[in-house]
Amino acid sequence: MKILVTGGAGYIGSHTCILLLEAGHTLVVIDNLSNSKALSLSRVQEITGQSLVFVQADIRDETAMFELMKSHAIEAVIHFAGLKAVGESSQIPVNYYDNNVGGTLALLKAMQKAEVYNMIFSSSATVYGDPQTVPITEDFPLTATNPYGWSKLMVEQILSDLQASDPQWSVTLLRYFNPVGAHPSGLIGEDPNGIPNNLLPYIAQVAIGRLEKLSVFGDDYPTPDGTGVRDYIHVMDLAKGHLAALERNTNRAGRHVYNLGTGQGYSVLEMREAFAKACQREIPYVVSERRPGDIAECWADPAWAQQDLDWSAELGLEEMTTDAWRWQSRFPNGFEE
Ligand code: NAD
Ligand code: UFG
């Protein structure tokens, strides 16, 4: 199939491109490189021994999107492009709405014009807000607590309304839980800008000596060890979920929603311990204040994805941490050359 991948130079997109190429798909990747380097895509081609077309462009450029879809006879769009820093989204909300919501609208207009009706969208478990109970199923109430979360929820709504208005559309909303890890080659992985906001990249930078110690944000949550519990999922499992969704839902009209998680929660301290084991180093830490906006626990009920997509996560904590460490130790400065 001929697929347009937006944001494909980024963390999840680049890992997904590997599996798409290996499955024989033809890829046109567009990315404005606002949070990534083109080197990730060179590595994708090195790993797979196959080539893809990369165009540096912005999803908000409707004309460019339309022309690319037409000239490459695109059949489906996998839409990763977006800004994703929760804290930053409260500081520059207009940029977040412009990029994530405005960008998706431009992309959808181009798709309509080019008559491409298959869309797979990167949503997030953040759309469940602070859930009343865990595990979370897809029919839980939806809400948001910051502009990033609202932008995901708004795009979900737009895609749902579009599908309802024009039933030939196949719209797939993938709600990711907490993606971690790296390709087992160690050639690509997560490369956050500045000091990482997320737990695993932060721990990895402590392990490599770029950061002094981990701050554990609160140990008085109602969880077994008092620290926050999340559903960490290996990025290669997540990538596999996209392939499964593409194969199942392309030209299968409707609105399809899935949690992509493992169904298993781990605490901050458990993650720290697992990473220390993987890298055979101490990870010093201090307990600090709770981070505003954080919730106690969040993990998926992945049964629907298993049933409808025949997909489930296969990799555990050991693969997540050893693969993340292989990438971090091989390239301490990420894609910076
Ligand atoms: P990432 O920042 O590594 O990748 C996103 C890519 O999109 C980057 O390469 C960036 O340069 C590109 N991009 C941003 N705005 C663009 C624009 N206007 N035009 C073209 N390219 C643009 O992030 P990621 O972790 O790979 O996340 C991919 C998607 O998954 C995002 O939509 C994110 O919100 C969503 N998501 C991520 C997580 C997570 O924890 N990583 C969790 C849930 C959902
Ligand atoms: N944490 C620390 N110290 C740190 C960083 C994180 O203790 O330095 C804790 C947090 O308090 C939380 C857990 O580690 O309990 C995970 O935090 P992350 O920031 O890694 O992940 P979140 O669950 O807060 O959020 C992530 C993404 C969101 C996304 C959500 C669900 O950042 O965009 O997963 O997919 F919406």
What pLDDT digit, counting tens, does each position of 15-72 carry? 999 999 999 999 999 999 999 999 999 999 999 999 999 999 999 999 999 999 999 9
Reply yes or no on whether the pLDDT at 337 is more than 90: no
DSSP run (H or E) holding 259:
strand 254-260
Mean pLDDT in residue range 214-218: 98
Greatest pairwise CA separation for the chain in angstroms: 56
Q: Where are the beta strands (DSSP E) in 71-222?
A: 76-79, 118-124, 170-176, 178-180, 214-217
How far, in Å, from the CA of 281 to the mean position of ligand 1? 31
Mean pLDDT in residue range 275-292: 97
Residue 256 Cβ < 6 Å to ligand 1:
no
The ligand 2 atom nearest the CA atom of 268: 14
Instruction: Answer whether residue 213 is part of any domain.
Output: no
Q: Cα(47)–Cα(18) distance, rounded to whole angstroms?
A: 8
Instruction: Answer whether residue 216 is part of any domain.
Output: no
Reply yes or no on whether the pLDDT at 333 is more than 90: yes
DSSP code of residue 101: I
Residue 156 Cβ < 6 Å to ligand 1:
no
Instruction: Answer whether residue 151 is part of any domain.
Output: yes
295: Cβ–Cβ under 8 A, 6 or more apart, which residues? 130, 131, 228
The ligand 2 atom nearest the CA atom of 126: 36
Considering the entire predicted model, what is its pTM? 0.98
The ligand 2 atom nearest the CA atom of 291: 11
- The reported pLDDT for the residue numbered 9 is 98
Instruction: Answer whether residue 102 is part of any domain.
Output: yes
Give the residue, out of 11, 65, 177, with the most ligand 1 atoms within 8 A of its beta carbon, to mutate for a pocket test. Answer: 11
For the segment 234-280, what is each residue's pLDDT rounded down to a tens digit? 999 999 999 999 999 999 999 999 999 999 999 999 999 999 999 99
Residue 16 Cβ < 6 Å to ligand 1:
no
Tell me which residue has its CA closest to atom 30 in ligand 2.
126
| Full domain range(s) for residue 53 | 2-182+232-262+301-306
Residue 84 Cβ < 6 Å to ligand 2:
yes
Do the Cβ atoms of 183 and 323 come closer than 8 Å? yes
Q: Where are the beta strands (DSSP E) in 131-251?
A: 170-176, 178-180, 214-217, 229-230, 232-234
Tell me which residue has its CA closest to atom 27 in ligand 1.
12
Average pLDDT, the chain: 98
DSSP run (H or E) holding 238:
helix 235-249
Task: Report residue 139 as tokens.
Answer: 């029919």
Tell me which residue has its CA closest to atom 36 in ligand 2.
126
Strands 76-79 and 53-56: unpaired
Which amino acids are annotated catalytic? 148
- The reported pLDDT for the residue numbered 127 is 98
How far, in Å, from the CA of 325 to the mean position of ligand 2? 19
Q: Cα(83)–Cα(166) distance, rounded to whole angstroms?
A: 28
Instruction: Answer whether residue 126 is part of any domain.
Output: yes
Task: Report residue 230 as tokens.
Answer: 């999340």
How far, in Å, from the CA of 200 to the mean position of ligand 1? 17
* 334: confidence class by pLDDT, cuts 50, 70, 90: very high
- The reported pLDDT for the residue numbered 309 is 98
How far, in Å, from the CA of 21 to the mean position of ligand 2? 30
Do the Cβ atoms of 52 and 78 come closer than 8 Å? no
Instruction: Answer whether residue 187 is part of any domain.
Output: no
Instruction: Answer whether residue 284 is part of any domain.
Output: no
Say how far residue 94 (Cα) sits from the centre of its chain: 22
Instruction: Answer whether residue 249 is part of any domain.
Output: yes
- The reported pLDDT for the residue numbered 124 is 98
Q: Is the preceding peptide bond at 135 cis, omega within 30 degrees of 0?
A: yes
For the segment 129-182, what is each residue's pLDDT rounded down to a tens digit? 999 999 999 999 999 999 999 999 999 999 999 999 999 999 999 999 999 999
CATH number at residue 34: 3.40.50.720
Q: Count of domains in the chain?
A: 1
- The reported pLDDT for the residue numbered 140 is 98
How far, in Å, from the CA of 128 to the mean position of ligand 2? 14
Q: Could you count the other beta carbons within 10 Å of the beta carbon of residue 113?
A: 14
Q: Cα(178)–Cα(126) distance, rounded to whole angstroms?
A: 10
